[in-house]
Amino acid sequence: MSYTALDLMREKNTHDFGRELGPFVPELPEAYKTGMDLKSAALRFLHERCEGLRFDADKTQKESSGNYQGTSTQAFQIPYNMQMDIDRLCLARELETFIDSGVAEDAYTVYYSFLEMFTGTYGSAQKMVELLSEFEMNASSLLMKHRDHYSHSVYVFTLGLAIYEANKTFRDAFNKFYGLADKDEHTAAAFFLEYWGMTALFHDIGYPFEIPFEQVLAYFEVDKHQRGENCPYIAYRNLAPLEQLGEPMQMQLEKLFGRKFNNVPELLAYDTARLLGEAYGFCEGYLQRVISDKPLNPEHFGYFMDHACFSAARLLQEMKGPMGAAGLTVAHVDALSAIVLHNSLFKFSVAYYKDPQKRKPPLRMEQHPLAFLLMLCDELQCWDRTAYGRNSRTELHPMAASFNLSNGKIDATYIYDIGEKEKINAYEAAAKNWKPEDGKPPRLKAYSDMAEKGQRFLTDIEHIVDLKDLPLTVNTDLLKPDRKSKHTYLSMSSFLHIYDFAVALNGRYRYQGQEDSVTTEELEHDFEELSLEYKLSNINQVKAFSKYLNAIDCFYTDRPVDFDEVRGFTPEQIDIFAPMEHARWVREHHALGWRCDDVYEELGAKGGNQDIKSLRERLRCHKLCMNSWNSEQDIIEHYHKLPPEEQDKDWKPFYTMLRLIRKYDGLRIYRLESEPAVSEAQDSTSAS
């Protein structure tokens, strides 16, 4: 694998200490190196094509004197490029975890990793990302039709990475469009990752604006009213705060495009017309009127609200923060215009894809590669999406999908639950007996759109994007569902609390005994000083907590429930979840290239015990690791052989967390079975 900074550090350690030491890079499985499935192609893109991602030659030059610029557990511990390699390894690991599970909690860490790497901080965009999921989980069940957009966006991101990796035609078109054809493949891949990530991960963040619009209509649709002039609806006013650019952004845009823009719709209309206006016969003024009109007058658009306009405007406002106006590029603006096009603007106001009389050609990849890829992946990604809306829950949607990306093609097979065979049989019988005079033919969305002879699903995609150079075939299959990878438990909370949990866990050592006096600001400051690897370690410990609680018949929630609150753990409970936490820690470190060795203590002692922790981070070895991919039982046995002070590290943090987490209003831990409450002091003493 292409982790050159880690390789250089290993060579330096071998030279300095006279024997081969770490860091080691985990080997990409052989199947991933050549596989043309979704998972293999996406991971190969990150592991191999993105060599040198975010490397900094200036920092490397400064490090020639031995003063490292990179952060691990603290600043200036490791070379900067080594930190960048570890960050990329972290992103690949989180993406692999998400591909295997598809759950929102694993989508969360992909978002987190990307934002930390490409904007510098997750905190500034926290609400933008998390509130989308909060709105969907808490409000979408009131709608008639609505499916998940949070995990969906990470799947779209993954699909795009896989297509870029596997399809040379698209890769060449993208690189030519952005002047990367003569650049090395790693530079081009890094560029694609950054701008495709901005496009794919945030294309639906405007849904919180569309959901309340649909809620009002759903209130009347339940009573069989059709949306239209006889149905009340909402529209938006005072959009200036969302659409304003500000003087620094206006100045930067003028540098990029040679003209001044007054607001976001004007900018989006310009960029879209610049790329597509001549080919599709529209002017900038027409598109600006359409974009500005969508939130104000939904009656002009079939009584639908277009979240894409809000997504683009919302993302641009976020770009003003960590990136700043000076960091804005033409490619950023292209990402915004791709987002504004993806939902209904291109389909109904540019290409008229449903109207045989007005229909214009589908979008070609060389015209606007980000928009092309977004619209393609957005249509393809219809599997494994939680159905929230009333009608959506009764429809039949694919639970999984497999992709073969060989030979410049996309062969997609959508997999349905064989337990729904009765519903499928009923649809097929109705379709067989249907006659034109009966009215509309029967449908079983989305199954019928893929399985019927006309394949409405494929036909619609062909009317949206030009597949001449990227042939697509669609198949269906029926299988028994396997939900083991979903690791869903009773514990429920908002994503706003995952970050809070992680911050609290990180404070477990420094603030033990000071939980009542430490401020949340102090905790968050300490957390933000860590590298991405250690932030994710805390976050993944949080994500695993629901699994541990499930094993001891407990759960957490931010809702009021009639169960006994947990204020401590019994020795029996600790004996169950402490080895589980050790197993998580061991596997996490093994996946990120750590190895078992205590040489850093030996070498540190020879050097007068100077900076043992930094030496450990450069060698990436730890005395508590294991050197092979061990079974659960092997790791548990390893845990029981540890000295008591090391075993304590796998359960004591959760006591600190129990106290710290009360700083975040509403979140509590409960036990399923009522029993006499045991005080924290009793629990802690007996467990010790």
Does residue 523 contact residue 506 with C-beta atoms inside 8 Å? yes
Q: Cβ-count burial of 339 within 10 angstroms (0-12 exposed, 13-18 middle, 19+ buried)?
A: buried
Answer yes or no: are the C-beta atoms of 367 and 275 closer than 8 Å. yes
Residue-level pLDDT at 617: 93
Q: How far is CA 172 from CA 185, 188, 221, 329, in A?
A: 10, 10, 47, 21
Is the pLDDT confidence value at 87 over 90?
Answer: yes
Sign of the Cα torsion 151, 153, 158, 159 reads positive
Tokens of 663: 């700083």
Q: How far apart are CA 600 and CA 607, in angstroms?
A: 10
Mean pLDDT for the chain overall: 86
pLDDT at 488 over 80: no
Residue 315: C-alpha distances to residues 312, 332, 459, 560 (Å): 5, 10, 31, 35
pLDDT at 251: 95
The fraction of the chain above a pLDDT of 70, given in percent, is: 86
400-404 β-sheet, strand order: 400-404, 410-417, 472-479
199, 370 in Cβ contact below 8 A? yes
Crossing angle for the helix pair 307-319 and 330-342, to the nearest 10 degrees? 160
> Is residue 412 packed enough to be buried (19+ CB in 10 Å), middle (13-18) or exposed (0-12)?
buried
Tokens of 593: 């290239």
Q: Which residues pair with 411 in a beta bridge?
A: 404, 473
How far apart CA 399 and CA 483 sit, in angstroms, is: 10
- In which residue are the tokens 């020879």 written? 606
With cut-offs at 50, 70 and 90, classify the pLDDT of residue 484: low
Q: Can you read off the two tokens belonging to residue 614?
A: 């930094």
**Two structure tokens written together for 347:** 């389909």
Q: What dihedral do alpha carbons 34, 37, 43, 45 form, nearest 10°?
A: 70
- Distance between alpha carbon 677 and the CA centroid of its chain, in Å? 40
Phi-psi region of 324 (alpha: psi -120 to 50; beta: other; left: phi over 0): left
| Alpha-carbon gap, residue 291 to 306, rounded angstroms | 9
Token match 């209509």: residue? 217
* Residue 96: strand, helix, or coil: helix
Averaged pLDDT for residues 125-138 = 63
What burial class does residue 391 get, using C-beta atoms within 10 Å of its C-beta: 0-12 exposed, 13-18 middle, 19+ buried?
Answer: middle
- Residue 268: pLDDT band by 50, 70, 90 thresholds? very high
The residues, any chain, with a CB within 8 Å of residue 627's CB and separated by 6 or more, are 590, 595, 596
Name the residue among 305, 452, 435, 354 with its Cα closest to residue 443. 452
Query: From CA 485, how far away is CA 507, in angstroms rounded?
Result: 30
φ, ψ dihedrals at 323, nearest 5°: -80, -40
Tens digits of per-residue pLDDT, 383-423? 887 654 444 445 688 889 999 999 999 999 999 989 888 88
Cα torsion 318, 156, 37, 189: sign: negative
- What's the confidence (pLDDT) of residue 16? 86
Whole-number Å distance between alpha carbons of 283 and 276: 9
Q: What is the DSSP letter of 566?
A: P
pLDDT class of 129 with cuts at 50, 70, 90: low
Beta-strand ranges (E) seen in 353-507 are 400-404, 410-417, 472-479
Q: How far apart are CA 532 and CA 269, in angstroms?
A: 37
pLDDT per residue over 510-533, tens digit each? 776 776 788 888 888 899 899 999
Give residue-wise pLDDT tens across range 48-77.
999 999 999 999 999 988 889 999 999 999
pLDDT tens profile 288-306: 999 999 999 999 999 999 9
Q: Is 253 helix (H, G, I), strand (E, B) or coil?
A: helix
pLDDT, residue 544, reads: 86
pLDDT tens across 190-235, in order? 999 999 999 999 999 888 888 888 888 877 765 566 788 888 899 9
| Of 482, 476, 413, residue with least CA distance to 444 | 476
Classify residue 362 by its DSSP letter. Answer: P
What's the pLDDT at 688? 31
DSSP secondary structure, 452-469, as one string: STT-HHHHHHHHHB--TT
Query: Mind giving me the DSSP string for 286-324?
Result: HHHHHHHHHHH-GGGGTS---HHHHHHHHHHHHHTTTT-
Question: What is the layout of strands, in order, in the sheet containing 564-565?
Answer: 554-557, 668-671, 564-565
Instruction: Name 4's Cβ contacts closer than 8 Å, sequence gap at least 6.
Output: 51, 52, 81, 85
Q: Percentage of the chain surpassing pLDDT 90?
A: 51
462: tokens are 């062909």
622 touches 116 (CB < 8 A): no
Average pLDDT on 645-667 reads 73
Residue 146 has pLDDT above 50, yes or no: no
Q: Is 258 helix (H, G, I), strand (E, B) or coil?
A: coil
pTM: 0.92
